[in-house]
Structure 1
């Protein structure tokens, strides 16, 4: 017997999906420790003596767990209540704020503000992208850096892409299948999970997200409007590159 749980489009990673999120991505080979080390090196290479970092859209806090030992003060910000709860459980000694990247105000600044795993792609349009970068810049010390991992650009996105993985972790076997299509200048990605474990019914989870296909110029414009001198580094942890902005 199979039970089904649906996450409505664009509500974020909630409920049961949030619980299997880490298991799937770690099982697929996402190296959170290595990515955190590379990110810390990138920050300190541009800001020698960097002491603090805010990770925006920190998810369940796996990057935070590895960044905590690299800076005197590391904090997170997350919109999804379920992801936020997981991040706080994983990082009991780390402050993780509840907030929206478009309009948060923490009344402090950091040596670096980061936004990884293409979370910025959930901004709906240029106005929201500008608002997010303005918020990042407002929380960055003079001379500090903003690091953003973008979603695919329109010319690098592959419409119709299908991804699939099967992982085994914590006594569960989880299959994940995703399908990405072009939808009015954005990626519509539908994801389905089957979660099986001994003695329980197979659980079917699904979610759908709209992720905007901003061109590179849109990101650069948002950085410019936020008074951040920017450069683009190809590659990055997911092959989508990294934008680095320095606050004058």
Structure 2
């Protein structure tokens, strides 16, 4: 689970890598409304610090977030006054209401522990959708497209703070183990280093599609979006 250190620099590093939160939210809103033209409410699952949620708030009448990491919940609440950010686990939550659209971005769905848990998580999404509601999920890399041993490196400077990020990812059974190292430096505090490890499940595209079907969704896979991971978009049957 993401802690305080990464929460402080999360958006800075991804914006420095070229992530366009506004363009992604506009694309998803367009695709959601092509399936449900009157969509007015949205739940962003695993919303992190609220970077997508902030833009969704300008596109839907009512938005909420759900996030497991306490530091990220607090960060999202601080930046989005008036928006409900629920503390909870995407694998087991009950908000007591339904939404027209549910999103889950940044490959977060890959933190499910296997096909059974993936299906139960998607069933939980379905329970929180109105009739005909739309789900939009940015998957983690497919097992068949994952690059074993992949190394990524980025350096960005914003407001006199520099962040360097280096990651190395390896296949470990049916999952990818990604070790990420950060160096954060500014004039007042100097330089500091911390590291994280993420174990993220590698599903095949067919496994994703079967899980959506089992959870009651008719989905389409849109290739090429979200750094090449693509996007699943579908409606609750």
TM-score, length of structure 2 as denominator length: 0.97
Partner residue, 2:128: 139
Structure 1 partner of 2:70: 81
Q: Structure 2: how far apart are the matches of 1:16 and 1:117?
A: 19
Q: Which among 122, 127, 133 is matched to residue 111 of structure 2?
A: 122
**Conserved 8 A contact 1:117-1:238:** no
Gaps of 5+ in 2: none
CA deviation after TM superposition for structure 1 residue 170, in Å: 2.7
Moved over 6 A (4+): none
Deviation at 1:230, TM superposition (A): 1.7
- Offset, 1:236: 1.7
Rounded to whole Å, the distance in 2 between the matches of 1:143 and 1:38 is 19
Distance 1:170 1:242 in 2: 33
Alignment counterpart, residue 222 of structure 1, candidates 200, 211, 215: 211
**Aligned-partner Cα distance in 2 for 1:215–1:199:** 46
Cα offsets for 1:37-81 (capped at 9, x unmatched): 111111111110111000000010010111111111111100000
- 2:90 is the alignment partner of 1:101: yes
**Aligned-residue offset at 1:199:** 3.0
Are 1:38 and 2:64 counterparts?
Answer: no
State the number of aligned residues: 237
Give the alignment's Cα RMSD to 1 decimal: 1.0
- Distance in 1 (CA, whole Å) between partners of 2:82 and 2:226 is 26
Deviations 1:147-200 (A, max 9, x none): 111111111110111100110013211111000111111110000011111132
Could you tell me how far apart the structure 1 residues matched to 2:2 and 2:222 are? Answer: 28
CA contact (8 A) 2:32 2:233 kept: no
**Residue equivalent to 1:176:** 165
Q: Distance in 1 between matches of 2:159 and 2:35?
A: 39
Q: What is the Cα deviation at residue 237 of structure 1?
A: 2.2
Q: Which residue of structure 2 lines up, in the alignment, with residue 155 of structure 1?
A: 144
Q: SS in structure 2 opposite 1:50?
A: coil
**Is the partner of 1:34 in helix, strand or coil?**
helix
Q: Which runs of 5+ in 1 are unaligned?
A: 1-11
- Tell me the TM-score normalized by structure 1: 0.93
